[in-house]
Every structure is written in C-alpha cells, then in structure tokens.
Amino acid sequence: MDYRFAESPEMYGDLHLALIVLAAALNIVVYRIIRKRPEDFLFRLLRALGLFMIAAEIFKQWFCYTYIYGEVISFRYFPWQLCSMAMYLSFAAGYLKGKAQEGALVYLSTFSLLGAVMALASPAGMLLDHAVFTLHSFAYHALIISESMIAVAILRKRKRPYFRSSLPLFGLTVAIAEIINVLSRHMVNDPGREADMFYINPFYPTTQPVFRSIALKFGNITEAIAYLLCVILASYLIFLAENRLCYTDNGTGSGSGIQPDKTYIISLNRERSVIALIASVITFTCCLYAIVIGLGVRPNITQAGIGLDLFRFFTVNSNIFAAFGAVLMLPYAVEGIRKKYFTCPGWVQIIQYSGAVCTGITMLFVLLIMFPVGGAYMAFGGIYIWLHLVCPLTALFLLFCVESNIRLTKKEALIALCPFLVYAAVYYTEVVIMGPEGGGWPDLYSITKYVSPLVGTIGMVALGLAVTFGIRWLFNKAAERRHSELQRLWDDTLTPVDVRIETYGLGRFNGLHSDIRDITVPVDIFRDLAEKYSLSVGDLMKAYSKGVESGLEEKGAIASKR
C-alpha cells in the first residue's frame, strides 16, 4: 500500500487549512461536551485521551521505523518534545495529588497548549509526503488543545492555581530532553537521525526561526537558554489570560468583604509587577536586538553603507526611546514582585507613553505611506520587521498591560509628543533649510519627493497629534474600565465600619506574613475604597497601620514561643 501523498503538502495549502478547520471543529465539540461536566468525568476523559495518544504514538514509532527510516533506528521523532508531554500528563494527572496534580494541569493548560498551537500554525516538520504521519501529527496536536481545555475546566472548579507549580515539572522534562539529545549523539552520531528534543540540542544549531540566528551568532547554549526563557514567558502570558478569563476564587471559603487573600488586594499587585517585568523585558529585548543587528550587519539594502548614520532615522531613535522607557520600568517591577505591591512614578509612565507615541507614529507611517509606495521589502525587510512592526507593538503592549492607576492629561500628551516634534524640527532644518548641498541630510524618507516640505510637515504633525491623542484616549478608557471592574469586586453591602475592620485585617495579614522591610501602604487601593464607601484615606491608613502593628506583634509572640 502507498502511504505517500503525490507530493509533500505545503504550509497554508489546502490540506493544511482543511486540517486546521477540522481541528477547530473537533475542539468545539469537545468544549460542548466538557463545559458542564463534573471533575471526575473530566479526569476520566483526560485519562482516556492520554491512553489513546500513547497507543497512537506507539503506532507512529513503528511507522517511522518501518516506512520513513527503513528499519534503521532514529531518534528524530522520539516522543519527548514539548508537545509529547501532553499524552503522559493527561494519563497521569488523575493519579497525582496536591501540588503535583496542580502542576500537571497547569503544564497542560499552558506549556502544552503553546506547543500545540505553534505546531499547528507552523507545521513544517509535520507536512511530509507520508499521509499517515501527517494526519497523525495534526490529530495529535488537535487533541492536545482538547486536553488543555479539559485541564482549564478542572482548574476553574478549584481555588486559583499558581503558574509556579508547573515550573519544576517543566525543568524536569527539559533535563530529560537534554539527556536524550546527548545519548542519541553517542548512539547514532548522525545529524539526520539524532534527537533534538525541545529544540535545545547542544551539538547543532536549532531549526527554529530567529533562534537559529541566535545559535549561529552566540552559540547553541545561549540559544537554548533564550529559547527556554521565551517558552516560559509565552506560557506564563497564556496562564495570565486564562487566570483573568476562566479562574475564580472557588474553594476559598464563603463570606463577603475585603479579605487579604482576594485577588484584588494582594495578587492583583503581584500580577501587575510580573506583567510589568515581562512587558519591559520583551520591549527592551526586541528594540535592542533590532538596533544591534542593524549596526552589526546589513540585513536590508536600504541600510547598506549607513553605519552610525543609522541614528539619523527617527525609526531607530524612537525604538531606542521605547527601550529606555522599558528599562526604567524594570526596577519598579522587580521591587513590586519583592514587596507584592507595584507602584510606578508618573514620569516613568510619561516616558513609556512617549516611546509608544514615537514608535506608533513610525508604524502608521510605514503602513500608510512606506508600504504602499516602497513595497514590502522596504517596509518590513531585514531589521525593519522589528523596527517598524514588532517593537512598536511591544511598546504599546508595555503601556497598556501595566496597570498603574494613572490618567494621562492633555498636557502630558503634548509632552509625550515633544521628542517627535524635536526630531521633525531637526529633520526640516537638515533636509529643507540646509539640504545635502549645504552639508545637511538627504531626504531619508523621500517625503519631499512626493509633496512640498510645508505639506509634508503639516501632514506629519497631524499624524503625530492623531497618534498621541488616540493612544491617550484608549489608555484612559482602559484605566477607567479597570477602575470600575475593581470597584465592582467589592461588596456593596459593606458599611464604613466593615471596611475599616477589613482594612485592619489586611494590615494584620501583611504584618503577620511579610518582612517589616517589605511592608508598603497600598494608597491607591485605599483611595478607591474611600471613594467607594465615602471614607477618608487617612482613616483607612490608620486602620491599616494598627493592623500591621498587631500582626508584627503577633508574629513576634509566635516566634518567641518557638
């Protein structure tokens, strides 16, 4: 029997898209089946899917050995990739207890989901001319998404899970993957048949886009570390989305009021800090990567021979400014994680706002003018895919994802626009007043080639104002929505006396469970409480301070008894 297609299927071809549609349809059916089922049924279904996938994997290993490698041992498709973990964990999750079970379920709902979605979106390694192999691979990854949904359905019936519970399991699977990579090297010593589990083979550069460039420039170990950190960050972002959309405080006990373990009191601020840290690192890394690559190589013909003159481009300077704003956020994010209370000075927020404005102007200019006129290569070739698209989006991500309880005023909007206006004035002077003949710059953006200098200047200033005030409007709307959602979490039946009692309890909780050096006063929360319940911030601060003092005294008494 012929198990091959006429030719290898193409990515985003008819077969790929058809299988994606089928995978989506399968998971819609699975969702309808599991959405109202009890936990014991979900574990039985998870175990059954895991067992089915293990059986299918045994068949695949036989198929690969017989038909793909001609009865020669190969580790290339050994079942210990990131996606492979789903079948083992799905089968084992029901037998685990406590934190181990929570870690397995969180792993399924984050790391496994990430691997499945990425594999289905870019299935180059799955689209072989062997029909059985290709169909198995797509069905396998579609079922991983089903198992991830089941894991989320189980977790949402419990107390909020913690992402850190999955990290020891991830570390263990990574360590085993690297052992397999090393053993396969010594057993077969053939690059075509050696293992590349988790894409961290220490002997060969990875095949993954972007990370392969890192391996070729900085070595395989650096690439492996960068790859694993990105996997963790991406999985954590998935967890945050699931945490916001799916999980509640089920299982934490009844009762109303403002309890110290509620998300909106302590966990919210911890979450703010972690999001701020992740967003800052992503923004800084992307901007720095683009600038370093732009100075070190010539990935785009439009940059040939420019060298340090690269800094004449507003695109480059705006990305540097955005990276600077991200760096300023880092110490506040780290301090927020340490003290479980995130604060960000207004001036840091303004610099980040300005970075988002500048890179936003760049992105819109590219999309509206450069791309239609110069084409895709001019707009997004080489490092320009980073400078013109990825970095501007990460700057906006940083600005909008970090909750800082700050509202942007019109005055601050004009301040944020100043770097662009200064550059525009310098550019006009160099290009129009001085000109290349007088020692000025050439028209780097070819604006005067199509319109007069006056029209070009007016158009760019108008674009800058539109971006600046458009971002301000969206930011303030998001801040107002978060403020309203926070207030809705608080019980409307509470009296001012109840609020003071609960505020005292929060202080006592912090005094009892935190180091005295890490205790901070959550003024922003007290301000919102005061507004909600018609109280004074001073009264709440007094109640909180008294609670902290009681907690510290109680902790001292407990320590002395020990």
Instruction: Assess whether pLDDT exceeds 50 at residue 469.
Output: yes
Nearest to 490 by CA among 539, 521, 535: 535
Lowest mean pLDDT among 64-68, 91-95, 368-372: 368-372
Residue-range domain boundaries for the chain: 14-198, 267-488, 496-561
Residue % of the chain over a pLDDT of 70? 81
Least confident of 79-93, 106-120, 217-231, 251-265: 251-265
For the segment 473-487, the average pLDDT, to the nearest whole number, is 77
- Which segment of 109-118, 262-271, 540-549 scores lowest on mean pLDDT? 262-271
Asked whether the predicted pLDDT for residue 528 surpasses 80, the reply is no
Encoded tokens for 339: 């003290």
Tokens of 498: 């109840």
Most confident listed range (364-378, 418-432, 484-498):
418-432
pLDDT of residue 45: 95
Neighbours of 512 (CB within 10 A): 17
Residue 559 has pLDDT above 70, yes or no: no
| Helix-helix angle 537-561:523-533, to 10 degrees | 130
pLDDT, tens digit (0-9, with 9 covering 90-100), for 226-267: 999 999 999 999 998 888 888 866 544 333 344 433 433 444
How sure is the predictor about 297, in pLDDT bands with cuts at 50, 70 and 90?
A: low
Query: pLDDT for 176-225, tens place per residue?
Result: 999 999 999 888 888 888 988 998 989 988 888 778 888 888 888 998 99
* Burial letters 73-94, b for 16+ CB under 10 A, else e: ebbbbbbbbbbbbbbbbbbebb
- 131: pLDDT confidence band, cut at 50, 70 and 90? confident
Bridge partners of 4, per DSSP, are 130
- What is the 3-class SS of 346-361, one letter each residue? HHHHHHHHHHHHHHHH
pLDDT at position 296 = 59
Give the mean pLDDT of the chain. 81
Which residues fall within 8 angstroms of residue 538, CB to CB, at 6 or more apart? Answer: none
The residue-averaged pLDDT of 153-171 equals 92
Q: What is the mean pLDDT of residues 37-50?
A: 93
H-assigned helices in 366-515:
371-374, 376-380, 384-385, 391-401, 410-428, 453-488, 496-513
Q: Is residue 514 helix, strand or coil?
A: coil
Average pLDDT over residues 393-414: 81
Q: What is the dihedral of CA 267, 272, 276, 278, to 10 degrees?
A: 40
pLDDT for 457 equals 85
Q: Which of 100, 120, 105 is closest to 168 using CA atoms?
A: 100
Whole-angstrom Cα distance, residue 267 to residue 262? 7
Question: Do 98 and 33 touch, CB atoms closer than 8 A?
Answer: no
Residue predicted with more confidence, 14 or 477: 477
Mean pLDDT, range 334-339, rounded to an integer: 72
pLDDT at 392 over 80: yes
Whether residue 149 is predicted with pLDDT greater than 70 in this model: the reply is: yes
What are the phi and psi torsion angles at 4 (to 5°)?
Answer: -105, 150
Residue 414 CB contacts under 8 Å (≥ 6 apart), including other chains: 468
Q: For 301-319, how does the pLDDT look when each residue is reduced to its tens digit (9 = 90+)?
A: 444 445 567 778 888 889 8
pLDDT over 90 percentage in the chain: 27
CB 34 within 8 A of CB 42: yes
Q: How confident is the model at residue 300 (pLDDT cuts 50, 70, 90)?
A: very low
Predicted pLDDT at 527 = 76
CA angle 143, 147, 149 (to 5 degrees): 115
For the ranges 132-136, 286-290, 462-466, the maximum mean pLDDT occurs at 462-466
Q: Give the three-state DSSP class for 4.
A: strand
Give yes or no for residue 557 having a pLDDT over 80. no
Phi/psi of residue 130, nearest 5 degrees: -80, 110
Sign, Cα dihedral of 497, 502, 508, 510: negative
